Amino acid sequence: MLEMTREEFEELVAEALDRIPPELTRLMDNVAVFVEDEPPADDPELLGLYEGTPLTERGEWYAGVLPDRITVYRGPTLRMCDSREDVVAETEVTVVHEIAHHFGIDDARLHALGYG
């Protein structure tokens, strides 16, 4: 398995977030991004997870709720990648994928766009 500290991986996630166009990040609302070492035991190969209410599903009722949560998992990403460059690329794909869920884009469309 490729070695990378949690701090290094968190920096890669931050850099991936920085590459999201500002016109999109301005539209993001009530969402927080986290890095965890491992995903839930029932899905050990999960690279990222979006939990919350997509922007497309929010209505007048949406107020006073906890932020949506995007989690990027370090362990499975490092296990599937062969080089630091692979980790950078996979982290960026994962971050874009989970942010797209925040915007209401489903997995089928993301796979069609190459963010599977």
Residue 104: which CATH number?
3.30.2010.20
Spatial CB neighbours of 35, under 8 Å, sequence gap ≥ 6: 6, 9, 10, 13, 71, 72, 73, 74
pLDDT digits (tens, 9 = 90+) for 42-52: 999 999 999 99
Q: Is residue 1 part of a domain?
A: no
Q: Is residue 58 part of a domain?
A: no
Q: Is residue 75 part of a domain?
A: yes
Q: Is residue 28 part of a domain?
A: yes
Domain that holds residue 15: 6-52+68-113
pTM of the model as a whole = 0.93
Question: How distant, in Å, are the alpha carbons of 7, 8, 11, 47, 99 from that of 18?
Answer: 16, 15, 10, 19, 12
Q: CA nearest 45: which of 68, 21, 77, 72?
A: 77
Q: Is residue 100 part of a domain?
A: yes
Q: Is residue 48 part of a domain?
A: yes
- Token pair recorded at residue 90: 């996979």
- Low-confidence residues of the chain: pLDDT under 70: none
What is the reported pLDDT for 1?
Answer: 81
Q: Is residue 62 part of a domain?
A: no
CA distance 115 to 83: 19
Q: Is residue 12 part of a domain?
A: yes
- How many structural domains compose the chain? 1
